[in-house]
Structure 1
Amino acid sequence: MRALLVVNPKATTTSERARDVLVRALRSEFDLTVQHTRRRGHATTLAREAAAAGVEVLVTLGGDGTINEAVNGLMEGSSPETRPALAVVPGGSTNVFARALGLPKDWAEGTSMILEALHKGRVRTIGLGKADDRYFTFCAGLGLDASVVRRVEQARLRGRTSKPSLYLRSAVNQYFLAMDRRHPAISLERPAEPVEGELSTVIIQNTAPWTYLGDRAIDPNPDASFDLGLDVLALRRLRVPSTARTVTQLLSGRLDPHGPQVLRLHDMSEFTLLASRPQAFQLDGDYLGEREKVRFTSVPAALRVIC
């Protein structure tokens, strides 16, 4: 069986020695080729070329950004009948997608689980989300959460380590100092339904959880699933009392977010977000610039995953 291993050499939780161990383990099961990413977007190119060449399994070693790029390459470069299966070895700081699939955080344990799944023929078919022309595996965001991702990425470029404390400090800073909390700019349109207007920030989930703070799952829409459409959590006005209440509900892990400033939608097949001024935009935890319009669609049964 032919396989390609796409390695992000900047993966934060593996060393060169660990990668060598991984390659040897995979070569015991696959006719394996190894490629290292050299720039942002390179994993998309490698995955597209692998699909066109008839590779049967694509393995990624990296974080959620590497996985997102690889998935987009697979979706662009093949039909459902010929599309390689995806296997993900956790190598990033958070690894939301891998953990949502039930894989352990540790890369060695994850590799062992993937090899076991291969032996037993354990393959799962999952749905994806799509934002305009780009696919995503677990989440997207327009507004506050995306601006936090932007600030964290800027801090990492300055040498900061991606830790829960960095995300929390970035969220507080963006909320109090960078957001226009008095004038919600986003509206949500869906077929045959009234427009939901005056939204300040919108989170979209393709599965649960939305993200992790360390080992704690943060789950605005716990019913979100790879087997269903997209789920939405939107906050209307970001007033301090209502926002603090929603954050408390999220961090408690026991209460689904609710209240007059909260909009939740479940199992959505399509909708469009429109903004009266440019808003920060992220997919799978990668900041992608600012947008004023994004069309979201659910893509069911899109990808086979070895897990």
Structure 2
Amino acid sequence: MSRRVVLIINPASANGKTGQEWPELVAEAQRLGLRVEERLTEAPGHATELAREASMAGADVVVAVGGDGTVHEVVNGLVGAGGTPFGDAALGVIARGTGRDFIRSHDIPTKAKDALQAIADGPIRRIDVGEVISTGDPEGGRRFANASSAGVTGAIAKRANGMSKRMGGTPTFLLAAFQGFRGYTNTPIHIELDGRPIDVTASCVVCAIGHSLGGGIKVAHGARPDDGLLDMVLVGDVGAKDLALNIHRLYTGTLGEHPEITHLKGLNVTVSGNTPLQIEADGELAGTTPATFRCLPGALHLVTAS
């Protein structure tokens, strides 16, 4: 029996090209024998609603057709608070955004036709999902598929979200990063990792499921999305000059060799301090600290290529 697939399509992704090209994706899915339906998003948060409805209605695979933000919304439609599933659908991804950090951490093809082939007959495996509960998040708590962070990375995400992505995800993020670091003051942060206190002046703390963010920055090199743990990466008292001197480390997996980088693993992370820190989750703004991050082991089914 062919899989019943619902495509959750963000027509604004790929700088609007998806809005023109999605009928070709539907036709290709039908050619592969999939029982396919499509749903187009109309506003922020709509993909979450559509994904939840599709899964609860019996879809085998709910496919995020868009960028990492669309993946983020669809995951929140499939997995609720504490890892509660909404239906039994697995997640599929056809990457149409600029960052593509989620697919970098999984065996998901970059080309749409290859991704559809995997959705048609690829294996389904369980992966972890993160959860962040923060102050002032309008969602009151959300799941993240790839990474969530607090500090300068939240400020960078805010800048990047307001910039054109026409020059690509990596250049856009780097420009936003330099601008963000130049205007940011590192502050004392109190962290508890599974009850272990850590007090440090830092620029940010990243809690990751996948290994990259910001269009390919290998912030948590070696992270495994199915080990049941968060990879916590603490970036210490660094600034724009440090970023410029260490750009080569960002994309080679050697960031952890910098003396101001601490990479630890754990199940639960709490972050607080005297100054509220901006939080992002999969690049989406998600309130401020105080906040709690935790891993939800095996909470999501994912279709991969192998």
Give 1:279 shift.
1.7
Q: 1:165 to 1:207 in 2, by over 3 A?
A: closer
Match status 1:63 vs 2:62: no
* In 2: Cα distance, 1:57 partner to 1:8 partner: 17
* In 2: Cα distance, 1:95 partner to 1:239 partner: 26
Q: CA deviation digits over 1:86-122, x for unaligned, max 9?
A: 11111111211123212232223322333241xxxx1
Which residue number corresponds to residue 5 of structure 2?
Answer: 3
Which residue number corresponds to residue 202 of structure 2?
Answer: 199
Which residue number corresponds to residue 126 of structure 2?
Answer: 125
Does the CA contact (< 8 Å) of 2:178 and 2:240 recur in 1? Answer: no
Q: 1:81 to 1:291 in 2, by over 3 A?
A: closer
* In 2: Cα distance, 1:225 partner to 1:146 partner: 23
Which residue number corresponds to residue 46 of structure 2?
Answer: 42
Match status 1:23 vs 2:26: yes
Does the CA contact (< 8 Å) of 1:246 and 1:258 recur in 2? Answer: no
Give the AA of the match of 2:128: G
* 1:82-101 → structure 2 map (5 Å cutoff): 82-101=87-106
Which residue number corresponds to residue 175 of structure 2?
Answer: 169
Q: 1:139 to 1:65 in 2, by over 3 A?
A: same
Which residue number corresponds to residue 12 of structure 1?
Answer: 14
* In 2: Cα distance, 1:88 partner to 1:239 partner: 35
Give 1:32 shift.
2.2
* In 2: Cα distance, 1:153 partner to 1:59 partner: 23
Percent identity of equivalent pairs: 24
Task: Identify which of 270, 284, 289 aligns with 1:292.
Answer: 289
Task: Identify which of 285, 299, 302 aligns with 1:302.
Answer: 299
* In 2: Cα distance, 1:291 partner to 1:80 partner: 26
Give TM-score, length-normalised by structure 1. Answer: 0.85
Task: Identify which of 139, 145, 149 aligns with 1:141.
Answer: 149
Give the AA of the match of 2:156: V
Does the CA contact (< 8 Å) of 2:126 and 2:298 recur in 1? Answer: yes
Q: How many residues are matched?
A: 291
Does the CA contact (< 8 Å) of 2:207 and 2:293 recur in 1? Answer: no
Give 1:232 shift.
1.5
Give TM-score, length-normalised by structure 2. Answer: 0.85
* Secondary structure, counterpart of 2:51 in structure 1: helix
Does the CA contact (< 8 Å) of 1:126 and 1:304 recur in 2? Answer: yes
Give the AA of the match of 1:140: S
Does the CA contact (< 8 Å) of 1:63 and 1:94 recur in 2? Answer: yes
Which residue number corresponds to residue 219 of structure 1?
Answer: 218
* 1:181-196 → structure 2 map (5 Å cutoff): 181=186, 184-196=187-199
Give 1:54 shift.
2.0
Does the CA contact (< 8 Å) of 2:157 and 2:284 recur in 1? Answer: yes
* In 1: Cα distance, 2:253 partner to 2:103 partner: 23
Question: Where in structure 1 are there 5+ consecutive unaligned residues?
Answer: none
* 1:224-263 → structure 2 map (5 Å cutoff): 224-228=223-227, 229-238=229-238, 244=244, 246-251=246-251, 253=252, 255-263=254-262
* In 1: Cα distance, 2:114 partner to 2:274 partner: 47
* In 1: Cα distance, 2:9 partner to 2:174 partner: 29
**Greater CA deviation, 12-21 or 129-138?**
12-21
Does the CA contact (< 8 Å) of 2:230 and 2:267 recur in 1? Answer: yes
Give 1:271 shift.
1.2
* In 1: Cα distance, 2:173 partner to 2:84 partner: 38
Give 1:280 shift.
1.9
Q: 1:40 to 1:226 in 2, by over 3 A?
A: same
